Chain A
């Protein structure tokens, strides 16, 4: 009698395990392929490509030399040397977006183009940001650190993103008093 019950329990457990495994497989199939992330990282910057295939056809975004310059007292501007991204010959670039401190500051729309190249001086004078006072971000002599995100998408559904930051010169207010000569 006990053997019979043991067999029954074993059969029930096996059926249960098979049902759970089948359920997991069905759920995975319904989700589709998991996106593949190609990531490169340094201490302060990260760039990634989101794709559903192992060899994505969108490139990393090229955004060299993020620069913050103090144009006048209290006014800093962020600029890049250029922004560039390309897709495979069969796909078009849909858009490339520049965000600084979570605010979209530039939106570039593709028009029947496999690549997009935005020279720095096309966005003159740059993007105005607060400079900050000396040491505010922990770097002596420098001001605020601003985070930026550059995203691009192409018609095949692939996306590329750059995450980085740039620290601005500190805002040192200098007041020039008129020279009064004494007679």
Chain B
């Protein structure tokens, strides 16, 4: 009898330890923001982020930010002044509210900030940013492309009332200023 009881007890103890270890490992979730969705296209990246694992929803309600046709143009070739603009900036988070959306040109800082007001989506057309964001055009090759001027990396970030964030990372090249 003893011959069977001891191995059975040892086996049971082993399984218990194993289950406890698995449970502990499952309970441990990484700290910090979690990327829920991410896509890339050449120099462009877009992603949806939850601030921490405990807030990860089954289905994120915030969408990717739509920021098509990042444009840089030089109205007057005699001046080193270019303007950056997007056709529009748009994001939705229904049924949650949109809290903010911020456009940042990385080496300048935030250039546009929109505050939500009990709204589930945000739409900023190009003409809401006037002529666009004035930046130096730069000389030929300054941004790494021999036919163009400066390159500006930008980030557009939006946040909803559930704490989720959506971000677009891209680069826009300006025409060179060649007086």
Q: Which residues of A contact B (CB under 8 A)?
A: 77, 92, 94, 96, 98, 103-113, 116-119, 121-128, 155
Is B174 interfacial (CB 8 A cutoff)? yes
Q: Which residues of B contact A (CB under 8 A)?
A: 39, 41-44, 46, 64, 67-78, 85, 87, 126-127, 131, 147-148, 168, 170-176, 178
Residue from B39, B77, B173 in contact with A112 in the complex, judged by beta carbons closer than 8 Å: B39
- CB contact under 8 A between A122 and B178, given known A110-B69, A113-B69, A117-B69: no
Question: Top 3 closest A-B pairs, CB basis?
Answer: A106-B73, A128-B76, A104-B175
- CB contact under 8 A between A108 and B70, given known A103-B175, A122-B126, A128-B77: yes
CA distance A110 to B126 in the complex (A): 15
Instruction: Check A125–B75 contact: CB distance below 8 A.
Output: yes
- CB contact under 8 A between A111 and B41, given known A104-B147, A117-B69: yes
Q: Which residue of A lies closest to B132 (CB)?
A: A122
Contacts of B77 in A (CB 8 A): 103, 105, 128
CA distance A155 to B44 in the complex (A): 13
Chain A at the B interface: SS class: strand
CA distance A130 to B175 in the complex (A): 19
A75 to chain B, nearest CB (A): 9
B64 to chain A, nearest CB (A): 8
Residue from A77, A122, A125 in contact with B71 in the complex, judged by beta carbons closer than 8 Å: A122
Residue from A116, A117, A126, A155 in contact with B75 in the complex, judged by beta carbons closer than 8 Å: A126
Instruction: Check A108–B175 contact: CB distance below 8 A.
Output: no
Instruction: Check A117–B87 contact: CB distance below 8 A.
Output: yes
Instruction: Check B127–A121 contact: CB distance below 8 A.
Output: yes
Instruction: Check A94–B42 contact: CB distance below 8 A.
Output: yes
A129 to chain B, nearest CB (A): 9
Instruction: Check B173–A109 contact: CB distance below 8 A.
Output: yes
Instruction: Check B175–A105 contact: CB distance below 8 A.
Output: yes
Contacts of A128 in B (CB 8 A): 75-78
- CB contact under 8 A between A155 and B73, given known A111-B170, A122-B85: no
CA distance A108 to B64 in the complex (A): 20
Contacts of A123 in B (CB 8 A): 71, 73, 75
Instruction: Check B41–A116 contact: CB distance below 8 A.
Output: no
CA distance A30 to B75 in the complex (A): 45
